[in-house]
Amino acid sequence: MFHELSVILLFATAVGAVGLLLRQPLLVSFIAAGILAGPSVLGLGMADAHLELLAQFGISILLFIVGLKLDIHLIRTMGAVALTTGLGQVIFTSVFGFFICLALGISPLASLYIAVAITFSSTIIIVKLLSDKGEIDALHGRVALGFLIVQDIVVVLVMVVVSALAAGTAEDGAGGMVLQVAAVFAKGAVMVAVVALFMKYVAQRLLDRLATSPELMVLLAVGLAAAFASGAEMLGFSMELGAFLAGVALASTTYREVIGARLNALRDFMLLFFFISLGAHMDLSTVRDQIVPAAVLSVFVLVGNPLIVLVIMGLMGYRKRTGFLAGLTVAQISEFSLIFMAMGLSLGHVTNQDVGLVTLVGVVTIGLSTYMILYSHQLYPRLEKLLGVFERRVPHREVAQEAAAAPAHADVILFGLGRYGSNIGRELRQRGMSVLGVDFDPEAVQQWTRQGHPALYGDASDPDFAATLPLQDKQWVVTAVPAQQSSTAGGDPSETLVRSLRSSGYRGRIAVTAHRAGDVTRLRKAGADVVLLPFADAAHHAVEVITGRAADIETRGVEHA
């Protein structure tokens, strides 16, 4: 086993390096490595059971970190749209997918299985992509996470139905289904109660005792993630749901940021095994005769699923951009789709060819949707005019949220409430200026408001957001967006904000943060009055202090420190 894993790690590194040269996402490279190393191609003799175990740990840690960052208030605010969108997408995909399969000449029972299988989206892949882009806390990220959880619950119920069908006759199976569905809800209520009690009486006290040893806190976090995941699976739920709830159980503690930061590197390494395992389990030997049906179903998943999310979110009062970004997250099928088809195969309800068809749809949709999500901010401007039909004339839900948080006036509107932005805001307030903070991270917004300063949730890369701000021509708009956000969002949020401000008629002054000297000209052409270079400015200031040309500044700096 050890030798096989060492070969797989080096092979995955080589495939990933080739992918980087070809400018391909690492996620796609790792899935390709699994396919190439698996039995369908090279057959490197992979230790399946051990690889699966490592993959399960990676999944548990990923979903644990997501739950760790979840604000319970956000669950209440996102509940309605998550439930409506999640169920709407499942019903739409399964019904239309069934008729598409019938039109392709597939038997009714197999069509039902395939239609249900392609309704599931991969929570693990989506959460990984949104986390890498820094968008898991954005509005569309929270909505997507909500309806992915709804999908996971539907997966559980579907598995219950299939298990009941396998248990006996149709009559017994129908009665068994009712009992099992009731048992699922009862077990779910027990799980939620356990999490609530743990949050209230155990979590903070336990971590307080372990706070002197960060290593023990990390060990406890990994142990809880694995234990909750295991417990959820024993109760008939998915491991993802259990690990997610484990994170939620610690989300209310004061140590969640420390734990999350220490687990990030472990998460990324362990998830490698999940993606390799996913690729290795895709048997390509049965897909040669399924290319045309797979192409039709892949287009349906890649286009139809995002469209239904756009329609539902538009009707519920969200902007077309939010619906578009959230909709892209369901433009692929899940690893559960393959598991579900395998269950149907074991019951004799589907054939190897049907399983091969879903496998090929999985390869196509996972690969293409990865690019769609990674480059979503570049796709949106190209499709924006076509998406107008999916937005109400007044997207009341988003507008109401923004209007409730926005003050009537501010001397400075500051985008980005991280270390750099918060220091800018503090200095401005010390000079008697009122500052409205804006950030796409709800935690940063809450921290800002807890300090007694006005703030609202918003995304600098949203071209429609500028129109909702209390803009006046005598004020400043300042961006202090972190460098990593600019590089992962598929474009420069500062440039997008400047252009949208100018196009909306804003005549006030704009200061933007750049992280490379080469960006200065581009940002000035977009309409920025001042371009800040934090590292260059800090270096210049440091040299002034060192050479004694700014003694007064040095004195103030020492006093402030």
pLDDT digit string (tens) for 23-77?
676 767 877 887 787 777 777 756 567 777 888 888 788 778 877 866 555 556 6
CB-CB contact of 246 with 198 (8 Å) = no
**Mean per-residue pLDDT, 313-320:** 84
In terms of Cβ atoms closer than 10 Å to its own Cβ (0-12, 13-18, 19+), residue 64 is buried
Cα separation of the two ends of the chain: 55
Q: CA-to-CA distance for 439 and 109, rounded, in angstroms?
A: 49
Q: CA-to-CA distance for 514 and 534, rounded, in angstroms?
A: 8
In 3D, which of 125, 126, 129, 121 has the Cα closest to residue 90? 121
- Residue 501 CB contacts under 8 Å (≥ 6 apart), including other chains: 466, 471, 477, 510, 527
CB-CB contact of 61 with 266 (8 Å) = yes
Q: Place 283 in a pLDDT band, splitting at 50, 70 and 90.
A: low
- DSSP summary character for residue 40: T
Retrieve residue 331's tokens. Answer: 């433009």
Query: Is residue 445 predicted with pLDDT exceeding 80?
Result: no
Say which residue, 288 or 245, is predicted with more confidence: 245
pLDDT for 102 equals 92
What would the pLDDT profile of 448-501 be if each residue is shown by its tens digit?
A: 887 878 887 777 777 667 766 777 777 888 888 765 444 344 467 788 888 888
Strand pairing category for 476-479 and 509-513: parallel
Retrieve residue 321's tokens. Answer: 């951009």
What would the pLDDT profile of 153-190 be if each residue is shown by its tens digit?
A: 777 677 666 655 555 444 454 555 567 667 777 887 88
Q: CA-to-CA distance for 2 and 297, rounded, in angstroms?
A: 39
Tokens 């002054």 — which residue? 509
Lowest mean pLDDT among 188-197, 201-210, 226-235, 331-340: 331-340
Retrieve residue 417's tokens. Answer: 């409430």
CB-CB contact of 3 with 11 (8 Å) = no
Strand (E) or helix (H) holding 366: helix 352-374
Q: How many percent of the chain have pLDDT more than 70?
A: 81
Lowest mean pLDDT among 102-106, 255-259, 315-319: 255-259
Rounded to the nearest integer, the mean pLDDT of the chain is 78
Q: Place 558 in a pLDDT band, splitting at 50, 70 and 90.
A: very low
Q: CA-to-CA distance for 229 and 455, rounded, in angstroms?
A: 37
- Strand partners for 510: 477
CB-CB contact of 442 with 457 (8 Å) = yes
Q: Place 267 in a pLDDT band, splitting at 50, 70 and 90.
A: confident
- DSSP summary character for residue 389: G
At 374, the amino acid letter reads L
pLDDT for 490 equals 46
What would the pLDDT profile of 362-393 be if each residue is shown by its tens digit?
A: 888 888 888 888 888 888 888 888 888 877 77
**Mean per-residue pLDDT, 215-228:** 88
Q: CA-to-CA distance for 94 and 89, rounded, in angstroms?
A: 8
Q: CA-to-CA distance for 89 and 465, rounded, in angstroms?
A: 27
| Residue 199: alpha-carbon gap to chain centroid | 24
Q: Three-state DSSP class for 169?
A: coil
pLDDT for 396 equals 61
**Mean per-residue pLDDT, 117-126:** 83
pLDDT for 16 equals 86
Most confident of 9-13, 37-41, 236-240, 397-401: 9-13
Lowest mean pLDDT among 44-53, 503-512, 532-541: 44-53
Tell me the angle at which helices 26-37 and 352-374 cross, rounded to the nearest 10 degrees: 160
**Mean per-residue pLDDT, 347-352:** 79
Q: Three-state DSSP class for 41?
A: coil
Tell me how crowded residue 467 is: count the other CB atoms within 10 A of its CB.
Answer: 16
Q: CA-to-CA distance for 358 and 274, rounded, in angstroms?
A: 19
pLDDT for 422 equals 86
Say which residue, 23 or 111, is predicted with more confidence: 111
Q: CA-to-CA distance for 416 and 135, rounded, in angstroms?
A: 14
Q: Three-state DSSP class for 470?
A: coil
CB-CB contact of 260 with 68 (8 Å) = yes
Number of residues that this document lists for the chain: 561
pLDDT for 299 equals 93
pLDDT for 559 equals 39
In 3D, which of 430, 117, 464 has the Cα closest to residue 322? 464
CB-CB contact of 402 with 468 (8 Å) = yes
CB-CB contact of 211 with 255 (8 Å) = yes
pLDDT for 488 equals 40
Retrieve residue 200's tokens. Answer: 């209230």
Radius of gyration of the chain (CA): 25
Q: Place 99 in a pLDDT band, splitting at 50, 70 and 90.
A: very high
